[in-house]
Amino acid sequence: MNGPLTAGIATLCHEIVTKMSSDAGGQLQQIGNRLNDPLRVAIAGRLKAGKSTLVNALIGRRVAPTAAGECTRVVTRFRYGPADRIDVVTRDGARHSLPLDEDGMVPSRLGVPAARVAHVDVTLTSDRLRDLTVVDTPGLSSTDAASSERAEEAVGIDADSAGEVAAAEAVVYVFTQAVRADDRRALESFHVASARLATSPINAIGVLGKVDTLTGGADDPWPTAGPLAAQQAGLLARTVSEVVPVAALLAETAEAGRLTAADRDALAALAALPPASLRVLLTSADLFRGRPAPIGAEQRERLLARLDLYGIGFACAQLTADPRLGTGELVRRLLAASGFPRLQETVDRTFRWRCDAIKAGWALTRLQRLAGFTPDPRDRAALRDGLEAALRDPAYHRLRLLDAAQRAATGAVPLPPLWEQELIRLATSDDPRFILGLPDAADEELTTAAITAAGRWRTYAVDGAGPAQARLAHVASRGFHLLAQSGLTRGNPSPAGPSTTGEVRACRT
């Protein structure tokens, strides 16, 4: 899953490790290994925003406990492993192993007081985790100040400190209904916590969770959710690149396969009710529990816990329209209705590709430091040579672009909005059509447009900009120049970036 930049550095590590003394070689090995780790995404947000539910949906298995009250109190990392196991890592570094409980979930009692737990390390055989490590965090703004602090530690990214285990390369910030002032503050404070890899539009996205509760009852929330998410994205433009609305509960149920054929039959029985009484039944959870209906109380509670009123209403509507709908197809439609595919696509597009550069940047800094501090002069020379050779590759210009985009996006160097967006597009994508905003252009057009853009940025750098802007503009100009060249040589956009703008639009609707 590694991108070209990371792969390049990994190869470099691999090649020169043989020439190194054992000490420096060991460190080199470590850096190389770290490069092969899957992408780490931390899920952060206020308490009860639905973080754990989202985690379950992302993993495709219901392992993180979710409950009515405040639930997650320790940082939990879910990663791929050969067997399902839980390690509770305490602050003194000791590990206590636990089995998953009988439902296949992380038990709510860890056997160690939460205050002593550094983090919980969960390895699962789930395929989804092969190229994605998910870090679940306790809610921010919790009355339990200690767990909020643990969450901030986990998300404030600090690659060198002891928090590295829990530290993440990307952040998904979950909020409900609307961004509150403290959400913004929390996001900004991550930013302050670490200057280099803090949340910025480069490595963070927002998720508008629980959209199914926006309108209440079984009404379709999407007409409200879409514009609301767009509006919130505007508010958070400095901290997240996009806000994706998701009904995480539906996604969890669909992805973790929690809807059985029996459930489908129960839903079909409900769908057979006259529309008026079904409507009353679905106006509130209490009514759904209490009103007379063709299915038993236990079954109702089960449906409520899995689908919520909106999901039940949606499923009933689907079953009314097509009474012979099978469970599998129903689940598939529910997943589509949850908005989860778009989130997955966004995570993929936003993080995977950028992460390549972020990780490569991290590794280069470490390698350079290693080159500076290694006692053995031969080691130093070998490292320096290797680095020089690697950096000659124009692909590594992306690192500088990313840095420039980060400066622009966080407002450190103010650019006019349109220019800023263009720079961010340039740094975060490799699809020339997306970057240049020409979704249907032919190759020649793209090349011309890229050359024009390069010229425009150079002009901007020379006059009309302050020294800081000029530096960014030069980087951008070179970036467009390289883009024009790559367009000429390659002839078509890379298949790695799945995102033509057209596709993105299709997902949004």
Residues near another protein (CB under 8 A) = 46-49, 67-70, 139, 141-143, 145, 148, 176-178, 180-185, 210, 213-217, 224, 227-228, 231, 238, 280, 283-289, 304-305, 308-309, 411, 414
- Residue 117, classified by CB atoms within 10 Å of its CB into exposed (0-12), middle (13-18) or buried (19+), is buried
Cβ distance to another protein smaller for residue 49 or 423: 49
User: Cβ distance 169 to 358 under 8 Å?
Assistant: yes
How many angstroms separate the CA atoms of 229 and 224, rounded? 9
Cβ distance to another protein smaller for residue 368 or 421: 421
Give min distance, CB of 173 to another protein, in A: 14
User: Cβ distance 101 to 150 under 8 Å?
Assistant: no
Give min distance, CB of 184 to another protein, in A: 8
Cβ distance to another protein smaller for residue 60 or 217: 217
Dig out the tokens for 25 from the structure: 């070689």
Dig out the tokens for 241 from the structure: 């690149």
Beta sheet of 39-45, edge-to-edge order: 95-98, 85-90, 117-124, 76-80, 132-136, 39-45, 170-176, 204-209, 243-245
Beta bridge partners of 140: 46
Give min distance, CB of 314 to another protein, in A: 15
CA nearest to 43, candidates 182, 181, 205:
205
Please, where are the H alpha helices in 256-396?
Answer: 261-271, 275-281, 285-290, 297-321, 327-338, 340-347, 353-373, 377-392
Cβ distance to another protein smaller for residue 87 or 144: 144
Taking each helix axis from N to C terminus, what angle separates 327-338 and 340-347, rounded to the nearest 10 degrees?
60
User: Cβ distance 45 to 51 under 8 Å?
Assistant: yes
Cβ distance to another protein smaller for residue 251 or 413: 413
Give min distance, CB of 224 to another protein, in A: 5
Amino acid at 157: I
Give min distance, CB of 466 to another protein, in A: 11
Give min distance, CB of 410 to another protein, in A: 9
Residue 26: count of CB within 10 angstroms of its CB: 11
Cβ distance to another protein smaller for residue 174 or 325: 174
Cβ distance to another protein smaller for residue 113 or 491: 113
How many angstroms separate the CA atoms of 205 and 54, rounded? 14
Q: Annotate 435-468 with b (16+ C-beta within 10 A) or e (fewer).
A: bbeeeeeeeeebbebbbebbebbbebbeeebeee
Give min distance, CB of 67 to another protein, in A: 8
Give min distance, CB of 328 to another protein, in A: 26
Q: What is the CA radius of gyration of the chain?
A: 25
Taking each helix axis from N to C terminus, what angle separates 327-338 and 261-271, rounded to the nearest 10 degrees?
80
How many angstroms separate the CA atoms of 400 and 474, rounded? 11
Cβ distance to another protein smaller for residue 283 or 368: 283
CA nearest to 243, candidates 278, 211, 290, 285:
211
Give min distance, CB of 48 to another protein, in A: 3
Give min distance, CB of 29 to another protein, in A: 40
Cβ distance to another protein smaller for residue 290 or 323: 290
Cβ distance to another protein smaller for residue 91 or 180: 180
Beta bridge partners of 90: 117
Cβ distance to another protein smaller for residue 39 or 424: 424
Give min distance, CB of 472 to another protein, in A: 16
Dig out the tokens for 168 from the structure: 């993440």
Give min distance, CB of 480 to another protein, in A: 25
Cβ distance to another protein smaller for residue 120 or 208: 208
How many angstroms separate the CA atoms of 109 and 366, rounded? 39
